[in-house]
Amino acid sequence: MSAANPATDESQPTLPLHGIRVVEFTHMVMGPTCGLVLADLGAEVIKVEPPTGDNTRHLLGSGAGFFPLFNRSKKSVVLDLHSDEGREAALKLIATADVVGENFKPSTMKKLGLDYASLKDRFPRLIYVSHKGFLPGPYDHRTALDEVVQMMGGLAYMTGRPGDPLRAGTSVNDIMGGMFGAIAVLAALREREFTGRGQEVQSALFENNIFLVAQHMLQYAVTGVPANPMPQRISPWGIYDVFEVAEGEQIFLAVVSDTQWAIFCNAMGWDDWKGDERLRSNNDRVRARDWLLPEMRRRVAARSKRELAELFESHGLPFAPITRPHELLEDPHLKATGGLAPITLPDGERHGQTVSTVPLPFTLHGQRLPVRSPPRLGEHSAEVLRALGYDDAAIERLGRAAPRPAGQT
């Protein structure tokens, strides 16, 4: 079945987590990503925000997309957790939840009386997912960021050139750490069906990063040879590189089997290479890369990116144009398959405008999952808090910041 249905189509079958309520106390990327996954799978995810809102609502530069991406499909309730009344409301809300999520420093939730140890006896069916820098152990007191764990976890070493460690080009550990948190929640929900009891589950940036580089760790365990950074690696294929072509454009081209080599030579009209004994097998071509690649670069330099893309595509050969992220908003495949979905921006200079976001990268029943716009600050406070027994005056009071003692933030 085609996946071309719009990702906002409400006619889809009931989503698998329908009826599950999640209350999240999260910020930045990792914790919100977990909630995003659960929300898009059908859970009711209630994001508890301070009166000033999640700080990511107001980030600029490379953080400007954080809030609208990672907090879509959720509800927003404003509570001042530094007030007794705000914490009492949070506990009433938790009493209605299947799952609580958080990603603050270990001491933060404990000080508020909202950590798992404080809640587990009162709410024995509760599943509590914590997202931290490190799982419990010698490093768990350290402050972690995605960049920190990439540096200490080998990923920056593998990504950059020798002597120039480089972070990956996206919040890879934050995003995947949130995904693993969601996976752990799904496992705990399934286990609760049999035991009737909840549990605490944890995901962490560092351990997520270690999982990403585990293939290189195992390479050393198997071969005894440390992995080189990706830009310096010995390619296992003769042609597997980025080439500069006409008008200064770039394209990635690959030939990864002997069958593909014959197809490639025929498609390019290079009979001399097809019959060259020095290039007979893939391993021969790997040994010949010192002269093969410069000659390949010379031969394709005058050909256009479009011509090469069409040629490789028509012959089933691997290729990829070098694309910048913003260009994907006009990608024909994404536009044709429900890979882009409209949302309304809740904040900032462009609030109220419609932009495209990206649904979760899989289908259920042949369709991409529907998404809902990220919430305005406190958009659902009245709805959620009235259901807990609060009147309008109390709801307004709960949404205001309580006075702080001098010196307290």
Beta carbons within 8 Å of 384's beta carbon, 6+ residues apart: 46, 75, 77, 93
Q: Over 80: is that where the pLDDT of 404 sits?
A: no
pLDDT tens-place string over residues 126-180? 999 999 999 999 999 999 999 999 999 999 999 999 999 999 999 999 999 999 9
Half-sphere exposure in the Cβ direction for 97 (13 Å, CA): 28
Q: Over 60: is that where the pLDDT of 6 sits?
A: no
Report the pLDDT value the prediction gives residue 234, as an integer from 0 to 100: 78
pLDDT tens-place string over residues 217-274? 999 999 999 999 999 887 889 999 999 999 999 999 999 999 999 999 999 999 999 9
Cβ count within 10 A of residue 95:
13
Half-sphere exposure in the Cβ direction for 359 (13 Å, CA): 28
Burial (Cβ within 10 Å: 0-12, 13-18, ≥19) of residue 215: exposed
For residues 87 and 115, the answer to whether their CB atoms sit within 8 Å is no
16: its two tokens = 């698998």
Q: Over 50: is that where the pLDDT of 2 sits?
A: no
Report the pLDDT value the prediction gives residue 252, as an integer from 0 to 100: 98
Report the pLDDT value the prediction gives residue 403, as an integer from 0 to 100: 65
Report the pLDDT value the prediction gives residue 406, as an integer from 0 to 100: 52
Name residue 243's beta-bridge partners: 251
Across residues 13-28, what is the average pLDDT?
Answer: 95
Per-residue pLDDT band at 407 (split at 50, 70, 90): low
pLDDT tens-place string over residues 176-215? 999 999 999 999 999 999 999 999 999 999 999 999 999 9
Report the pLDDT value the prediction gives residue 3, as an integer from 0 to 100: 44
Instruction: Tell me the residue type at 260.
Output: Q
Report the pLDDT value the prediction gives residue 150, as an integer from 0 to 100: 98
pLDDT tens-place string over residues 23-59? 999 999 999 999 999 999 999 999 999 999 999 999 9
Q: Over 60: is that where the pLDDT of 110 sits?
A: yes
The question of whether 174 is a catalytic residue gets the answer yes
Report the pLDDT value the prediction gives residue 405, as an integer from 0 to 100: 56
Question: CA 67, CA 383: separation in Å to the nearest integer?
Answer: 22
* Nearest residue to 46 (alpha-carbon basis) of 19, 21, 28: 21
> Which domains are seen in the chain, by residue range?
21-214+337-398 (3.40.50.10540), 235-325 (3.30.1540.10)
| β-strands 239-244, 200-204 pairing | unpaired
192: its two tokens = 């609760």
For residues 89 and 81, the answer to whether their CB atoms sit within 8 Å is no
This model's pTM is above 0.85: yes
For residues 11 and 87, the answer to whether their CB atoms sit within 8 Å is no
Report the pLDDT value the prediction gives residue 12, as an integer from 0 to 100: 55
pLDDT tens-place string over residues 275-292? 999 999 999 999 999 999
* Nearest residue to 283 (alpha-carbon basis) of 333, 331, 235, 248: 235
Question: CA 109, CA 348: separation in Å to the nearest integer?
Answer: 29
For residues 122 and 208, the answer to whether their CB atoms sit within 8 Å is no
pLDDT tens-place string over residues 79-102? 999 999 999 999 999 999 999 999
Catalytic residue among 40, 98, 174, 347: 174
Report the pLDDT value the prediction gives residue 385, as an integer from 0 to 100: 98
Q: Over 90: is that where the pLDDT of 121 sits?
A: yes
